[in-house]
Every structure is written in structure tokens, then in C-alpha cells.
């Protein structure tokens, strides 16, 4: 048995994009920036986060650019065939929990917030949006509730 779990704390780089899959479940995508190091060695990484169901609805409703979030989920890798026939790999975080921390808006300290929990990954589609091309993998991304 293996473990595939990731935790991120960072800020949204843009407002989230929410849509509904053919199954009727909400799917929300957003990018989270995490920064490590100091001064000249500072490095920012960008993470593609995808949420499903009620978590996705809450993210689409309450998150916005600059908001600080705690994200918990698993790493997923997928390959996309480009028009020129070459393949490109994408790394996504399939989040089953998103907590809103800091203030709404460009966020600072203080506050807190709910959102997230649950983590229903079943039945959504996993594609489209920024990474081109429709339904990815036909549905289940984790075997139900976590």
C-alpha cells in the first residue's frame, strides 16, 4: 500500500474557474503559489488545484485572487496530446479539503474560515480548462469520499 498525500499553504494567483461536469457535479480549478527560501534564493512554485462536488462549489463561491488557502489532497499526473503530436505532462493536486485562511480579498493575517471538508471525488470529469481537451479518464478520481 502506498501513500499519496500533499498539503499546501499558499495564495491564489487568480480567481478560481468553476464549471459543472456532465454528471452535474461542480468542478473548480485554481492555481496556488507557494514560496520557499529567502532573498536571492527565494523560489515560487505554482500548483494546479482541482476540487469536486461541494468543496468545488464552496471554492467557486468564496475564493478569489490573493486569498490564502490550506489545501489537502493527492498528486495526479496526466498526459495530454498536443496538436503537433507531442505529449505534455501535467501535475494536478486533486484536493479533498480546502480551508480558507486569512481575510477574503488580498488576504492578510487574522480571520479564518471554513470551506472544504468532505472530499467527494467521484463522477467528475478531469480535464478541459487550461490543459485542453474534455473528459479525462472518465470519472472517478479517488474512489468516493475521503
Q: What is the CATH number of the domain that holds 120?
A: 2.40.50.140
Average pLDDT over residues 97-121: 55
> What's the confidence (pLDDT) of residue 101?
94
44 assigned to some structural domain: yes
At residue 104 the predicted structure's pLDDT band, cuts being 50, 70 and 90, is low
Q: Which domain holds residue 71?
A: 6-131
> What pLDDT is stored for residue 127 in this prediction?
40
Residue 125: pLDDT over 90:
no
Residue 103 has pLDDT above 80, yes or no: no
What is the reported pLDDT for 92?
Answer: 98
Residue 23 has pLDDT above 90, yes or no: yes
**Domain membership flag for residue 137:** no
> For the residues 75-87, what does the mean pLDDT come to?
94
Give 105's pLDDT tier (boundaries 50, 70, 90).
low
* Reported pTM: 0.70
Q: Dump strand ranges (E) for 4-86.
A: 6-12, 17-20, 26-36, 43-52, 68-81
Q: What is the pLDDT of residue 5?
A: 98
Q: How many independent structural domains does the chain possess?
A: 1
Q: Which residues contact 102 (CB under 8 A, 6 or more apart)?
A: 67, 68, 108, 109, 110, 111
Length of the chain in terms of residues written: 146
Tell me whether residue 138 is in a domain: no
Asked if residue 91 has pLDDT above 50, the reply is: yes
Query: Closest by alpha carbon to 122, among 47, 21, 19?
Result: 21
Residue 32, in any domain of the structure: yes
Which pLDDT score is estimated for 42?
A: 96
Amino acid at each position: 500500500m502506498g501513500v499519496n498525500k500533499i498539503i499546501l499553504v499558499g495564495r491564489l494567483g487568480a480567481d478560481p474557474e468553476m464549471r459543472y461536469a456532465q454528471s452535474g457535479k461542480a468542478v473548480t480549478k485554481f492555481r496556488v503559489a507557494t514560496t520557499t527560501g529567502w532573498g536571492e534564493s527565494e523560489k515560487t512554485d505554482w500548483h494546479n488545484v482541482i476540487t469536486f462536488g461541494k468543496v468545488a462549489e464552496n471554492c467557486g463561491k468564496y475564493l478569489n485572487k490573493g486569498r490564502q488557502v490550506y489545501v489537502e489532497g493527492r498528486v495526479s499526473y496526466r498526459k495530454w496530446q498536443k496538436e503537433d503530436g507531442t505529449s505534455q505532462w501535467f501535475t494536478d493536486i486533486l484536493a479533498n479539503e480546502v480551508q480558507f485562511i486569512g481575510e477574503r480579498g488580498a488576504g492578510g493575517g487574522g480571520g479564518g474560515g471554513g470551506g472544504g471538508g468532505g472530499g467527494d471525488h467521484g463522477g467528475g470529469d478531469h480535464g478541459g480548462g487550461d490543459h485542453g481537451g474534455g473528459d479525462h479518464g472518465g470519472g472517478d478520481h479517488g474512489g468516493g469520499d475521503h
